[in-house]
Chains A and B, each alone.
Chain A
């Protein structure tokens, strides 16, 4: 189920594996930005690379796109080694963390040149399709500095997709983007996944990552601390919660091993009790063990664990 990252990745350079990161370390002088990072991506998945600021996410993505050279270790993209030849670059589409300002060129020119770099001479159709889809068509004659923040982001995304890459890398594509645009971007990412694109992204929005990512990896100080299927990690590292609202006050001195907090319900003369359920606890048995009569219970809710809890539990361990 959950993978212990240090020994899970066999050495693979199969053309079926979109991305294989093998023992990659990166030093900036003495400082170790990446420490033997190792993982594979599966075809067609959305993989979320999570981690606090400075964890090494951008450094890792930079190594994959050949912008930074790893100090040691190898990276393979569909079986081709990064840094040897140009094939890996053809397979990858990359959205950098920071928006690039293309000076005097307008949106359409930028995308046309970018297509040319991938050897595509006439890419009008694809460019129009992307601009329409990303709501940039009306702005195709504008320069980058004339675009709003959200449009700039969308332009970066369109640019990364002109050559229809098989592996799509997004470094914090939604940082500082309003919720509406964020949602539509995620929708678009899912659309790409459904077309068979493999996606690796980094984000700070854990709630969205939880919904979107098939698997996540958590990076801390350059170490890939945890990696696995999002659901499995939530099962493993977070707790379900049981929230019980009482009609009246809880018996004075009430205590229970699972009780997390007890608070007064707003506006009524009742108490709210929040229990953190240990794994494998049966709901019935815990309610029984509380010893409340059914009459005294006003409401019962359960809350599933979240990726945020997983994240915090990994970072605090």
Chain B
């Protein structure tokens, strides 16, 4: 089980093909959403916002939106794939065919990651375009490898979280409740739109326990070289988060029912 087998590649290909078949919904819509954020906050309101680091607000915002796109879409992909599989009975097939749990897990989370990376790349390109139009230049990448590391580990973690939530959920409502009441607040309050230095001390304290802060600032450091948190902490939190999400996703995969609703 060290070498990926045909079953793994098949499932990964199926996962990717699945969201590509509905590009409008899975890639285009998220890109339009983040472009609107860029336009409203970055371009029109951003001119009035001053940051102590000296970077423009648009340049500050772009990494946040890039990471938000990656996390959201990775989560969406694995969770909606499983939930619709439960609904249609497709999921039962996974239990019947000769595929290992670890192969299922990796195919699902890498599938989610690819969608996350695709949407975040397009978001980045759109952001760069806005930046060029307003500031006359592109943002040079500060640390491309760090950027890629944080995108990958964040995307994988959120795809894994999507797996756990989808296995746990009893219906579509519970899945969207987790998105609306847990993930979106955590992402929004994790420093996508603002630097924690602008917050009152009380809110700063609250924000530092939000793991999303570390993922988002990791990406921000990779792109513009600015971070609200020490890089070492960002590494540690992202890695521990991945291990944690991997473990619960593996347990849910092993323990949960694959039977259709």
Give the residues in chain A near B90, CB-CB below 8 Å.
100-103
Q: Contacts A66-B95, A100-B88, A101-B89 given: A116-B9 contact, CB under 8 Å?
A: yes
- Which A residues from 102 to 152 make CB contacts under 8 A with B? 102-105, 109, 113-114, 116-121
Assess whether B22 is in contact with A104, with CB atoms less than 8 Å apart. Answer: yes
Most buried by B among A62, A105, A109, A116: A116
**Range of interface residues on A (Cβ < 8 Å):** 20 to 34
Give the residues in chain A near B260, CB-CB below 8 Å.
98
The total of Cβ contacts below 8 Å across the A-B interface reads 76
A92's nearest neighbour on chain B, judged by CB, is: B96
Q: Does B47 contact A (CB under 8 A)?
A: no
Assess whether A65 is in contact with B96, with CB atoms less than 8 Å apart. Answer: yes
Q: Does A90 contact B (CB under 8 A)?
A: yes
Assess whether B96 is in contact with A89, with CB atoms less than 8 Å apart. Answer: yes
Q: Does A258 contact B (CB under 8 A)?
A: no
Total number of B residues with any Cβ neighbor in A under 8 Å: 27
Q: Does A94 contact B (CB under 8 A)?
A: yes
Assess whether A96 is in contact with B7, with CB atoms less than 8 Å apart. Answer: no
- Which B residues from 11 to 52 make CB contacts under 8 A with A? 11, 13-14, 17-18, 21-22
Q: Contacts A117-B10, A118-B7 given: A100-B98 contact, CB under 8 Å?
A: no
> How far apart are the CA atoms of A116 and B7 in the complex, in Å?
5
Assess whether A86 is in contact with B5, with CB atoms less than 8 Å apart. Answer: no
Give the residues in chain A near B17, CB-CB below 8 Å.
105, 109
Assess whether B99 is in contact with A67, with CB atoms less than 8 Å apart. Answer: no
Assess whether A89 is in contact with B97, with CB atoms less than 8 Å apart. Answer: yes
Assess whether B96 is in contact with A100, with CB atoms less than 8 Å apart. Answer: no
Give the residues in chain A near B7, CB-CB below 8 Å.
116-119
CB distance from A165 to the nearest CB of B (A): 11
What is B's interface to A at a CB cutoff of 8 Å? 5-7, 9-11, 13-14, 17-18, 21-22, 84, 88-90, 92-93, 95-100, 258-260
